Amino acid sequence: MRKEQQYKAKLFTTGYLFLILISLTTAMSYSMISTLITNYAVKLGGTLAMAGTIAGIFSMAALFSRPVGGLICDTLNKKKICIIATVVFCFSFLGYAFSANMAVMLFFRIIQGFSFGISGTANMALVAEIIPKERLGEGLGYFGLGQVVSQVIGPVIGVAMKEHMGFRALFYTVAVISAFAVVLLFLFPYDSSCHDSSKTEKRNKSYFSFRYLVAWECLFYALTAGMFSMTNGITSSFLVLLGDERGIVNIALFFTVNAACLFLVRIIMGRMADRSSILMIVGVSLAVSLSSMLLLSKAMILKTVLIAALLKAIGQGGGQISLQSACIKSVDESRIGVASSTYYIGADIGNALGPVIGGCISGIWGYEMMFQTIAVLMGGMLILFVIYQKRRGE
C-alpha cells in the first residue's frame, strides 16, 4: 500500500517540464561547441598546449564556482540566480565569436565555465525543490535525459554547422539556443516564498563561513559519484586511441550505444532508486562499471567494446541517480543548493582526474593497464562504500 501511495504524488508538473526543457537547451548549446573548442583555439593561432588549456579551463572554472553557486542558491532566489548565470553563459558565446586572440578567448572561456557551474547548480536545486521527495530518484532520472540527448546529437549538429557555415555562425546559433533557455526561465512558474521561509532564520553571518560551502554530510556520496565520472573522462579521452592501436574499426559506436542504453537505464533506475537500498544499487553499479573497464582492457573486437558500453551505461545510470538523490536527501531543504553543488564537485573532480591518471598510466604501461587500474580503483571504492553504509546502519 505504501508503494502505491508513493507514486500518487504528481511528478510531471508544469514547473518540472519547464526545468527539463531549460536543462536540455542549455546542455545542447554547450554540447554543440564542446568538441570544437580546441579546433577554434588553434584557428586563433594557439598551440596545441594552449588549445588544451582553453578546453580544460572551462571545467576548472565550473569546479571553483560550484561551492559559491550552492551557497548563494541557499541564500537568495534560485530562479533569479539561474537567470543571471544563464544570461552570462549566453553572452559568452558571443564573446567566442568576436575573440581576436587567445587571451580574449581564455577570458570568455573562464566566464562561461563559471556561469555554467552556477546555472547548473541552481537548476538542480530548483528541480530538487519541486520534485516530490518520495519520487526524487525517478524525477532526477527523467531530468537527466535531456543532457544525455544533447551529448549524443549536440556534437554532430555542431560539427555539421561549423563545416557548412563556419565558427561565427555556430556561436551565434548556440547563443540563440541558450537565450531561449533564458526566456523559459522568465516564464518558469516559481514562488520563492514557498521555499524560502524555512531558511530565513538560518541566514546569519556564520552562514557564510567556509564550512557551509560544502555539504560535508554527503561528500562521500559525491566522491563515489566521481568514480563514475572518472570512467567518462577515461573513455572519452583514450578509447579511440585504443581502437587505433588494436585495429578495432568503428570503435566510436561505443559512445552511441552507451548513450542509448543510458537513456533507457535512467528511466528504469530512477524508480528503483526510490524503492531500493542505496547500498544495493550503488554496490551493483560499481561492480558492473568495474566489469566494463576490465572488458575494455582486454577488448580486441567491436562486439566486446559494445558489451562494455552496455555495462557502463547500467552502472553509471543506476549509481549516479542513487547518489545524487542521496546527496539531496542528506540535507534539509535550506541546504539543497549546497548539496547539489557538492555532488557536482565530485563529478567535476572525476572528469578532471580521469584523463590525467589515464595519460600517466597509458604513457608508461599502455591502455590495458590503464583500464585495469581504473577497475581496481572502482573495486576499492566498492569496498569503502560497503563499509561506509554498514557504519551508517544499513
Which pLDDT belongs to residue 10?
Answer: 82
Which range in 125-129, 246-250, 309-313 is most confidently predicted, on average pLDDT?
A: 309-313
Percent share of the chain, pLDDT over 90: 39
**Whether residues 52 and 150 fall in one domain:** yes
Which pLDDT belongs to residue 211?
Answer: 65
**Whether residues 365 and 314 fall in one domain:** yes
Look at phi and psi of residue 344 and say left if phi exceeds 0, alpha if psi is from -120 to 50, else beta.
Answer: alpha
d(CA 227, CA 233): 10
Which range in 8-22, 160-174, 225-239 is most confidently predicted, on average pLDDT?
A: 160-174
Q: How many domains does the chain have?
A: 2
Q: Is residue 3 part of a domain?
A: no
Segment 376-391 shows an average pLDDT of 94
Look at phi and psi of residue 67 and say left if phi exceeds 0, alpha if psi is from -120 to 50, else beta.
Answer: alpha
Segment 119-143 shows an average pLDDT of 88
3-state secondary structure of 235: helix
Q: Is residue 21 part of a domain?
A: yes
Which pLDDT belongs to residue 232?
Answer: 86
Which pLDDT belongs to residue 204?
Answer: 47
**Whether residues 68 and 179 fall in one domain:** yes
**Whether residues 239 and 377 fall in one domain:** yes
Three cell numbers written together for 251: 570503435
By residue range, what is the domain housing residue 337?
A: 211-394
**Whether residues 108 and 221 fall in one domain:** no
d(CA 62, CA 276): 32
Which pLDDT belongs to residue 392?
Answer: 82
Which pLDDT belongs to residue 100?
Answer: 86
**Whether residues 183 and 235 fall in one domain:** no
pLDDT in tens, 209-239: 556 788 888 899 999 999 998 898 888 778 8
**Whether residues 337 and 368 fall in one domain:** yes
Tell me, what amino acid is at 302? L
Res 373 pLDDT > 70: yes
Give DSSP secondary structure letters for 11-30: ---HHHHHHHHHHHHHHHHH
Q: What is the CATH number of the domain that holds 300?
A: 1.20.1250.20
Q: Is residue 6 part of a domain?
A: no
**Whether residues 185 and 218 fall in one domain:** no
pLDDT in tens, 188-210: 988 766 555 445 444 444 455 55
Q: Is residue 286 part of a domain?
A: yes
Res 3 pLDDT > 50: no
Give DSSP secondary structure letters for 77-88: -HHHHHHHHHHH
Which pLDDT belongs to residue 196?
Answer: 53
- Of the two residues 46 and 225, the one the predictor is more confident about is 225
Res 5 pLDDT > 60: no
**Whether residues 138 and 237 fall in one domain:** no
Which pLDDT belongs to residue 349?
Answer: 85
Average pLDDT score over the chain: 86
Segment 167-174 shows an average pLDDT of 94
- Looking at 162, 193, 224, the residue that finishes a domain is 193
pLDDT in tens, 315-354: 998 899 899 888 888 888 878 888 888 898 888 888 778 8
Which range in 34-48, 113-127, 219-233, 289-303 is most confidently predicted, on average pLDDT?
A: 289-303
CB 214 within 8 A of CB 43: no
Which among 318, 122, 347 has a CA at the least distance from the CA of 225?
347
**Whether residues 53 and 180 fall in one domain:** yes
**Whether residues 263 and 145 fall in one domain:** no
Q: Is residue 8 part of a domain?
A: no
- Looking at 137, 163, 193, the residue that finishes a domain is 193
Q: Is residue 201 part of a domain?
A: no
Q: Is residue 381 part of a domain?
A: yes
Confidence of residue 370 (pLDDT cuts 50, 70, 90): very high
Considering Cα of 110, then 112, then 115, then 119, what sign does the dihedral take?
negative
